[in-house]
Amino acid sequence: MLHLPNQTNFYKGKVRDVYTIADKYLVMVVSDRISAFDVVLPRPIPFKGQVLNQIAAQFLAATRDIVPNWMMSVPLPNVTIGHKCETYPVEMVVRGFLTGHAWRTYKSGKRELCGVPLPEGMKENDRFPTPIITPTTKAHEGHDEDISREEIIKSGLVSEKEYTQLEQYTLALYERGQKIASERGLILVDTKYEFGNIAGTIYLIDEIHTPDSSRYFYLEGYDERQEKGEAQKQLSKEFVREWLMDNGFQGKEGQQIPEMTNEVVNNISDRYIELYEQVTGKNFVKEEVSDEETEKTLVEEIGKLV
């Protein structure tokens, strides 16, 4: 844990440490910790924090013309400093394709998800006629829960006026994300956005379009694979879950996390770096920063703010 000036709060998440400064700013340190099935795995993944932080920073900068966002500066490879917002208690999940949770719901025979009707005659990984928004509640503990637009507004979680604006931002961000992904030979399949508010203005917060918060397919061969009924070539964190499941772990009680050998850890690190380069179109430059350097830099940066 770092010792930062004017610190008013600290939150340790599964993979991130968040420091509140003077009740106005957040310092988000994206660690190399990795989680799956709501469990933090025993060994960190080198450079994972840098990968996620730098992807998010690039996409936040690329969407600032659509909606204001919380990011102010990225003083270190794995650290972002930004505005503290009053967060909306829902996550805006947007889906362009019938995959993941939506497919499992569909396969069970249901034709509605979060109050949104799902067309008949679809198969896994088919494209929806238009993207759909399937919001969830934001849970501090345990799993997020599906919720409909009507339930959100009726329960007063978000006013109808604000929720309508969140929907518009979500669809515009997703469209921009799909356009950028297409230029990289990818398809942005589904993703989630979180929003906050400062003095009546809505801000986009947290990370966006990272492989931990999004699912990507490779564009080349997508149609051919769909026609043949083959699995799509994915670019996401799914490979970590698949390795765990292959080794008998799905986060259930009594199950043992498989041994994370150096080879396993390095392979996961290499995959994250590959994800970075594919998603951003840039070469990844490994940067190691000690806790002492991190603290020194952040003390200086906070001094400029407070």
> pLDDT per residue over 240-258, tens digit each?
988 999 999 998 899 999 9
Task: Name the more confident of 1 and 49.
Answer: 49
The class of domain 7-83+237-278 in CATH terms is alpha beta
Nearest to 51 by CA among 69, 76, 78: 78
In whole angstroms, what is the distance from residue 8 CA to residue 19 CA?
8
Q: What is the pLDDT of residues 59-74, one digit of tens each?
A: 999 999 999 999 999 9
Q: Selecting from 1.10.3080.10, 1.10.150.120, 3.30.470.20, 3.30.470.10, what CATH number does the domain 87-235 have?
A: 3.30.470.20
What's 184's DSSP letter?
Answer: T
Residue 55 backbone dihedrals phi, psi, to 5 degrees: -65, -50
> CA angle, corner 205, sides to 136 and 104, nearest 5?
25
Q: Which residues of 201-236 are buried (b: 16+ CB within 10 A; e: fewer)?
A: ebbbbbbbbbbbbbbbbbeeebeebbeeeeebebbb
Write out the two tokens for 45.
């993944």
Q: What is the pLDDT of residues 175-222, one digit of tens each?
A: 999 999 999 999 999 999 999 999 999 999 999 999 889 999 999 999
Nearest to 92 by CA among 62, 135, 123: 135
> Quick check: do 7-83+237-278 and 87-235 share a fold?
no
204 and 169 Cβ atoms separated by less than 8 Å: yes
Query: In this model, does residue 142 exceed pLDDT 80?
Result: no
Q: Going edge to edge, which strands form the sheet with 16-21?
A: 7-12, 16-21, 25-30, 79-83, 71-76
Nearest to 90 by CA among 37, 144, 141: 144
Q: Which residues pair with 28 in a beta bridge?
A: 18, 80
The domain limits of the chain are 7-83+237-278, 87-235
Reported confidence tier of residue 141, pLDDT bands at 50, 70, 90 = low
pTM of the model: 0.93
